Copies of this chain bind each other. A is one copy, B any other.
Amino acid sequence: MRRPTIRPTLMLSSALVLGSALSALAQMPQDVTHFTLPNGLETVVIQDDRAPVVVQMVWYRIGAADEVPGKSGIAHYLEHLMFKGTDKLAPGELSKTVTANGGSDNAFTSWDYTAYFQRIASDRLPLVMGMEADRMANLKISDDDWMAERQVVLAERAQRVDSDPAALFAEEMNAIVYDNHPYGRPIIGWRNEIADLTRQDAIDWYDTHYSPNEAILVIAGDVTPEEARRLAEENYGPIPAKGEAEPRIRPQEPPKQTARRISMSDPRVAQPRMTRSVLATERNPGDQEQAAALTVLADLLGGSPQTSVLARELMLTGKALWAGASYDGLSLDPTEFTLSLVPPQGTEPAKAEAALDEVIVKFLKDGVDPGDLERVKTRIRATQVYAQDSAHARAYDYGQGLATGLSVEDVNDWPDILAAVTADDVMDAARDVLADGGGVTGWLTPEPPAEPAAKAAPPKSDPEPAKAEVQG
């Protein structure tokens, strides 16, 4: 998926349609406003006056997968440096001001985007917009700050990744799933490359990418669209775009011919666990059907610890302590469909894996149980309806969707597209991701397995799973 051209139009439309007829696409929800400022800043406003709070999010269409090879970690490092102040803001002042005003703030970096959030009483919206706009245009990276902050990032990597067998394992799984695409690099960066990042690298990154026409502003909460627009124009309007938005051209994956296995053992691992990942289509603008089928498939296989296929066949029969499936289509480029498994105490990993394989073969042969499909689709729809109650969750949907190349319409259409998934769609998707060669199976175990080549890795310390976003 490539980022669609930004449409500088103001759209306001009538009724929120959830779960409507198959062919009709959803209209813009009444409480959502979408416009683009003349400098290219795409803005989404979600009005929700049930509580006197507001969320501001700025999403930059730039992330770890846009980095130049050898400079891994620069996207996340710059996210840290974004708290270092401007001519008006002292280092750390933005967060301190938000907290002093009863709010909270956060930031995170993923492969496809870097995002900055504040949640605060709605009468303080002008304050946080002023500060966010200031650091979009006027970031200062002083000679005092950049080396110290690089140490902070290295310490973060040491704590979150290098001392955690599960995170190291996830990092290498990832490297092996992607032969060519930059999704194979860790968001936080490879240690040796983080250590070499310079102030100039950070300044170049900021100067090239932190521009209103590479950003999405989302305002959700107790604010009228007119007021939000006026504030957006006042605060962000004067910031000039830094030239044309950079195209997000990324090396794509070649087809794979080999089945791949990795193994790692570490005495700090409590229980053996398996992850199996294959590449899978992502949500694309105007083309979300296959991603919808994969979303339903993941839920059907592993969405519930009681009624999902893997739960019923493996967990309730004692063949696995845990078995799951996951898929998230919000990705600029093709992403992963993942199965995971924890064998019961005392069961050989290979035996548990064989049981999982049997269930998959049977599922591919028997197809979807219609009752299961109905239950899953109802659950997905219910989750979405509940999510409408959270202005923050809705803001996140639009921000992440737009940052990964979707349009506002695509985000609006998603519930209907999910509702239209059929049993045949699910089985087509299942054959795509479950019947093929080319997947990566990884085992993380306390003890080295008996197999010849699975040699033990040197011990490190303190387990916790890796994350797809690195919080700043």
Contacts and interface: CB of A to CB of B under 8 A. Distances in A.
Interface of A: 69-70, 72, 165, 168-169, 172, 175-176, 179-180, 182, 184-185, 190-193, 249-252, 254, 256-264, 276, 350, 353-354, 356-357, 435-439, 441-442, 451-458
Contact of A70 (B70, B250, B438): B250
A60 B36 CA distance: 50
Contact of A258 (B172, B182, B193): B172
Given A179-B184, A257-B264, A263-B259, A452 B353 contact: yes
B260 A70 contact: no
B180 A260 contact: no
Contact of A69 (B251, B259, B441, B451): B251
B437 A457 contact: yes
Contacts of A458: 437
B453 A353 contact: yes
A258 B179 contact: no
A37 to B, nearest CB: 31
Nearest to A261: B261
B264 A259 contact: yes
Nearest to A355: B452
Contacts of A190: 180, 251, 254
A456 B442 contact: no
29 contacts: A69-B69, A69-B180, A69-B251, A70-B249, A70-B251, A72-B180, A168-B258, A175-B179, A175-B180, A176-B260, A179-B184, A257-B457, A258-B262, A258-B264, A259-B264, A259-B453, A259-B454, A260-B262, A261-B262, A261-B453, A261-B454, A264-B437, A350-B451, A353-B453, A356-B452, A357-B453, A437-B456, A439-B453, A441-B453
Contact of A259 (B252, B276, B455): B455
Task: Specify which of A72, A176, A251, A258 lies most central, judged by the most chain B CB atoms within 10 Å of its CB.
Answer: A258
B357 A257 contact: no
Contacts of A191: 254
B262 A172 contact: no
B442 A258 contact: yes
A363 to B, nearest CB: 15
Contacts of A353: 452-453
A264 B251 CA distance: 24
Nearest to A256: B172
Given A254-B192, A256-B172, A437 B452 contact: no
Contact of A72 (B72, B175, B251, B354): B251
Task: Specify which of A69, A169, A276, A356 lies most central, judged by the most chain B CB atoms within 10 Å of its CB.
Answer: A69
Contacts of A451: 350
A250 B264 CA distance: 27
A250 B250 CA distance: 18
A148 B442 CA distance: 43
Contacts of A256: 172
A119 B260 CA distance: 44
Shortest beta-carbon contacts, A-B, top 4: A175-B179, A70-B251, A437-B455, A258-B262
Contacts of A185: 180
Contacts of A264: 257-259, 437
Nearest to A276: B453
Contacts of A179: 172, 175-176, 184
Nearest to A252: B192
Given A69-B182, A192-B252, A350 B260 contact: no
A244 B44 CA distance: 48
A269 to B, nearest CB: 12
Task: Specify which of A70, A175, A441, A458 lies most central, judged by the most chain B CB atoms within 10 Å of its CB.
Answer: A175
A457 B258 contact: yes
Contact of A436 (B356, B442, B455): B455
Given A251-B72, A437-B455, A437-B457, A260 B258 contact: no
A440 to B, nearest CB: 9
